Structure 1
Amino acid sequence: MKEVIVSPTLPEVTARVQDGPIPSIGPDEILVKVVIAASNPKDYRHLYITQKSVNSGDDVAGYVSSIGKDVKTTGEFRIGDRVAGFHKMLLPGGAYAEYAVVPAHTAFIIPDNILFEEASTIPLTILAAALPLFRRQNLPAPWIGRSKNAEPLPLIVYGASSALGTFAIKLALLANIHPIIAICGATKSGLTSLLKSELGDTIVDYRPGVDAMKTAVKEALNGLKSYHALDAISENDSWIPISQLLSPGGHLSVVQGGPPDKYSKPSIPTEVNIGYTYVGSAHYGAFNSSMLNQPADKDSVVKDIDFAYVLMRYVARELANGNLSGHPWEVISGGLEGVESGLRKLQHGEAKGVKYIYRIAETRGVTSESDTL
């Protein structure tokens, strides 16, 4: 089996294709013959933090090749099923390979109307969007929803055109959360067709500057108090002006760690709670002890595993009925040999409104996905 090992070299990551054994699976996992792997910024960021060299891909779409014994008892997955899933971060069996390992509860059956390419853009990122909104901030989950006559429930999303920001908006729309204040730059065409201006949803451009952005958000809120926000970028102090737009008792979710005082600067209102988003809680039901701004209620995080299970089945259904879609993608040529190029493009900030994906069959020496599973 061919797989890619990514290393946190400077100034850019390096990635080498190597041969290795097909990974084994645990009782609650499935083995996926990979058709498409997709990249995320964490695929290189986590390596610099941990100083590990590993197959860091976690978004995968392909065919079920093997099923763990506990998964068999549910009858949910069968050999040959088209599936997409979120692999456990930094562990063996990653997505940048011919075969990958995925916990069954973070996988879903790909409906017939969805391409592998589209499906690969979804698993990790939709979980990373759903956990802060519906677990940490306790907004009503999409399958519960809100009455059409419900009072306005504003949600501010910074970095709205990123994959994470866009999936957060798609989920909020399914949950009937409005108005949505989508803050982004030039890449906003994909948001225009999503948002519902008649319900107060608004796009705000951050490029004129912080003060102009804050003024535009306040105008869009039109006197409403806002208690919920997601900073899908969390770079260059982006969370500070967003925190200043929230009412006392508000909650802002951020997606990057850093030094201990990163989210406690004097310019951040003390009455606003800033919470870190850890998508790995979908696998472990816990945060790492060293992480900043963790939930105070550690027991509640255990239920993130059950939440992930329900979310992924809901995602499959909504994809099938056309109420949900993946993120726009760009294919990096060369299959696994293109991973280094794709991750470097991410490092350089070149991904504007797209996710980079890799067709494994394009790798030299790799057989087609239609061959024996």
Structure 2
Amino acid sequence: MTTAQTDPKIQVSAVTEELTPPRYPESWECCGSDCGESCVYTIYAREKEEYDRQVKLMQSFFMEKQKMRAIEISQPGGPEVLKIVEREIPTPKAGEVLIKVKAAGINRPDVFQRQGSYPPPAGASDLPGLEVAGEIVDGDVSGTDLSIGDMVCALTPGGGYAEYCIAPAGNCLPIPEGLSAVEAATLPETYFTVWSNVFDRGQLKGEETLLVHGGASGIGTTAILLARAFGHQVFATVGSDDRVKAVEALGATKGINYKTQDFVQEVKTLTGGKGVDVILDMVCGEYINRNLESLAEDGRTVIIAQLGGSRATINSGLLMRKRLTITGSTLRPRSAEFKTAIAKNLQQKVWPLFAQGKLKPVVYATFPFEEVQKAHAMMDAGEQIGKIVLTLS
């Protein structure tokens, strides 16, 4: 679908050109007598009325097609504030594509945005939704390997909870071989996040070890799978014995139930007192000092969320003695160019692992678009192991 196909004025013009308008009769064609229904002018009037009717139908059809269903946050609050509304289909700008959405992943930032604590960055859609899978139907694909009609998964700055959404062309990736749209919709937010924080910022390499807090989350399961695929030992904290079994089944060297076990002591035991080299932390708060105790010398902890609070008193002596690094990042406000660089790394180094069977998305549950409130209620309850996905027909 090109811009000409999505602009209703152009669409109507193109179609009505195929309708033959009636020709107004010349005066000499009329006999000049009262010929009733057979009069050329009467026939013209009937044909003109029918022509106008068809044009109006076309206008109505295409203008209606320019609307889409979208999920809007009516006000800050619980899942009940998510409402299905009608919006205009967005128009892609230079460097952007329009995607007809088949599936949209649900992520913790969507919940924070719904609650009013994580507003979208300037210029982004006010609609929630940071990752989708679907078909490129319009836009600017110059400078990429993409084509109109390609099936892709994409990282979006917002707007994924809709029948159509905009994404920077460079933030789109082909759906890995053998994966469905539902599976592909779970990839962008988690894989972009894990790659940029564990491998780029955290510099996990060689035979180094990784500790993941929130190991059963979408980010956590992705970090386990990706680190294991590259040969690293991974330890993961989770909140139940069932989840311990689940993360170990995914490949974690050891799951740690933080409710019944001290993860600091467990990590020391598991690493022979050395500690881990990198920690991916979604908790923050009081975990910061415990992370410092769990790190090996020259270790790095990367904070990507603050589920346990944003403030802590740091043991700077331990920090200096072990030459530790505390860093952090958020992905959504970063530039499209920054995310494009991540996308290129993923396509080169990670996407082939799906075809090789070394990686597999973890889909916990799917919900129809209309049941978004139920999907968010599940997210709020923290029941999932892996990802929750909205599907569109």
1:234: Cα distance to partner?
1.1
Task: Tell whether 2:393 aligns with 1:341.
Answer: no
Aligned 1:64-143 pairs, distance under 5 A: 64-68=136-140, 71-74=141-144, 76-89=145-158, 94-140=159-205
Alignment partners' CA distance in 2, 1:259 and 1:191: 21
Classify the secondary structure of the residue corresponding to 1:227.
strand
Determine which of 173, 182, 191 is the counterpart of 2:247. Answer: 191
Write the letter of the residue equivalent to 1:346.
Answer: M
Alignment partners' CA distance in 1, 2:310 and 2:329: 17
Question: TM-score, normalization: structure 1?
Answer: 0.76
Write the letter of the residue equivalent to 1:193.
Answer: A
Aligned 1:146-185 pairs, distance under 5 A: 146=206, 152-177=207-232, 179-185=233-239
Residue 220 of structure 1 aligns with which residue? 270
Residue 104 of structure 2 aligns with which residue? 37
Structure 2 residues not aligned, in runs of 5+ = 1-67
CA contact (8 A) 1:87 1:102 kept: yes
1:40: Cα distance to partner?
0.4
Classify the secondary structure of the residue corresponding to 1:278.
coil
Alignment partners' CA distance in 2, 1:260 and 1:189: 28
Aligned 1:12-31 pairs, distance under 5 A: 14-31=81-98
Aligned 1:353-364 pairs, distance under 5 A: 353-361=385-393
Classify the secondary structure of the residue corresponding to 2:296.
coil
1:338: Cα distance to partner?
1.6
Write the letter of the residue equivalent to 2:360.
Answer: S
Determine which of 203, 208, 226 is the counterpart of 2:255. Answer: 203
Alignment partners' CA distance in 2, 1:167 and 1:239: 22
Write the letter of the residue equivalent to 1:65.
Answer: V
Alignment partners' CA distance in 1, 2:229 and 2:310: 35
Classify the secondary structure of the residue corresponding to 2:142.
helix
Task: Tell whether 2:290 aligns with 1:241.
Answer: yes
Write the letter of the residue equivalent to 2:355.
Answer: A
Determine which of 317, 332, 341 is the counterpart of 1:280. Answer: 332
Alignment partners' CA distance in 2, 1:313 and 1:131: 14
Aligned 1:305-324 pairs, distance under 5 A: 305-324=340-359
C-alpha deviations, 1:219-250, integer Å up to 9, x for none? 1101334331112x316633442232113432
1:84: Cα distance to partner?
0.7
Determine which of 366, 369, 372 is the counterpart of 1:331. Answer: 366
Q: CA RMSD in A?
A: 2.8
Write the letter of the residue equivalent to 1:56.
Answer: P
Alignment partners' CA distance in 1, 2:336 and 2:163: 25
Structure 1 residues not aligned, in runs of 5+ = 141-145, 147-151, 286-302, 362-373
Question: TM-score, normalization: structure 2?
Answer: 0.72
Classify the secondary structure of the residue corresponding to 1:54.
coil
C-alpha deviations, 1:100-144, integer Å up to 9, x for none? 11222222111341111111111101111111112212234xxxx
Cα gap change, 1:316 to 1:64, in 2 (>3 Å): farther
Write the letter of the residue equivalent to 1:67.
Answer: G
Write the letter of the residue equivalent to 1:165.
Answer: G
Write the letter of the residue equivalent to 1:49.
Answer: S
Determine which of 283, 300, 303 is the counterpart of 1:254. Answer: 303
Count, aligned residues: 316
Cα gap change, 1:242 to 1:104, in 2 (>3 Å): same
C-alpha deviations, 1:9-39, integer Å up to 9, x for none? 2355611111111111122222111111111
Classify the secondary structure of the residue corresponding to 1:3.
strand
Alignment partners' CA distance in 2, 1:268 and 1:26: 51
Alignment partners' CA distance in 2, 1:241 and 1:192: 23
Alignment partners' CA distance in 2, 1:252 and 1:154: 12
Cα gap change, 1:264 to 1:307, in 2 (>3 Å): farther
Task: Tell whether 2:103 aligns with 1:49.
Answer: no
Write the letter of the residue equivalent to 2:305.
Answer: Q
